[in-house]
Structure 1
Amino acid sequence: MQHLPPEALALCALGEAGPQDTAHLDNCAECTAEVTALQRVVTAGRTTSVPEGLPRPPSSVWDSIHARLGLGDAVRADPFDADPLAAAPSGEAASGETPSDEAASNEAAQASSPSDKNAETGSAPSPATLQSPPTGSTPVPLEAARKRRERRRLPQVLGAAAAAVVLAAAGTWGVSRILADRSEVIAAVELAPLPAYSETGRAEVDQRSDGGRELVVTASGSDAQGFREVWLIAPDVQRMVSLGTMEGTEGRFTIPANLDLDEYPIVDISDEPFDGNPTHSGDSILRGVLEL
């Protein structure tokens, strides 16, 4: 079975799977497991609220995110080091007013301030009027405001970090999949039908990059009175090794490491009855001799 490429798995994890990808996931447990693992990262990245009771991550976590995303010096400080309650002006904590409410109050106070009265009478305002802030207001420290802005940006930054993790995981998975799937065909044969059968097929021996060997068998049909079994048989047709049962029109079977294909070059697909007898039934559907 041809598995989904890494980019398709990433799109499925992001909820953008196409009809063909969805149909493949319905029948492929391996790809479904990969998508499920990637979805955990996507879900974490899209979560904007932080559950209560979670431990505070060490500053090294933010340092790694900052370095990986190439962020600037403006957000180099750990966002969790900023305490919005401690940085808030005492006037806000005591009155319960938000910065926007306080700004509106200050504007109202300025509207009726002595400076307006001086403008009406034509007299010059006093130095104290120009330099003193409105009564009851407290200047907001610029550093505290900057840290609050950075804290509000934290979910977006973490979302970008999560997306980077998804792409990195998909890329790593894709490279490992490509390396694992690299193989070389070292032998092949067209399978011919035996009397009473009209199917056609092919068998290939793949040498994997890890040194293992696989027999890949395809057949034009999948009908049998019982079940189909794949064999490697010696030229004397007396010695034979079963590789397993075959379902559908394609099967992949691991060849034992100590099995010499020169001694067992015949590929055979048999029709086996459900009688509990592990030996060959003598009823072969397809057969061919590997060209080694």
Structure 2
Amino acid sequence: MTHPDPDHLVLLALDEQRSGPGDTAHLDSCTQCRDELEALRAVAGLGREAAAETALPPVSESVWDRIAAETGQPSPVAPRRRGFPRVARYGVVAAAAAAGAIAGTLVVTGQDEERVVAQAQLNRQPSAPDGASGRVRIVDSGSGSLRLKLELTGMPAPAGLYEIWLYDGKTTMIPLGVTVGTEADVAIPPNLTLQAFPVVDVSAQQLGQQEHGTSMVQGTLRG
């Protein structure tokens, strides 16, 4: 079986190309490519959701240097960071979404009352040190858009960074954003549902690592 070129799958996910009869036939029979395309579309949704956010405060040069290191792009990162650039590789799609999430943590929100719609206690996984744990709240500030707020406890400073994932509990994990500290506040794209992705996972990642790294804490969201 000949699989489609990875670049072609990315362009399909971004609606940059139309799928042909050969694509449809292959995706109907190939679970691997079908799952990858679905994951790419979900990550693309992250970029589109982030592009809608405007009026961001200035971000320091050191933050853009870190984003450049994580994405493998030259520093400084171009100011059009909130948009979703045309890309030719799956890893850049995920990295772009992560870069948008880093910038998103710097947004100063208003004083609207937040409503907690789900939460989870994140439990230590075998690779994490004793005492590691976390807490997640999914909040709705009143606009209908959801954000994931993370607090980590007992976690060592990462060699690279920690990445936050939503997991369907089976085969698919969607990256939401990254943190190098003990807290994070990242957007949940509107095309994802907590019913379909009820598990929150925080993994240790090396800089530039695109696939899921080593799970450190994990828990299931409850309403």
Larger Rg: 1
Greater RCO structure (CA 8 Å; 6+ sep):
2
Tell me the TM-score normalized by structure 1. 0.37
Q: Which has the higher strand share?
A: 2
Q: Which has the higher helix share?
A: 1
Tell me the TM-score normalized by structure 2. 0.48
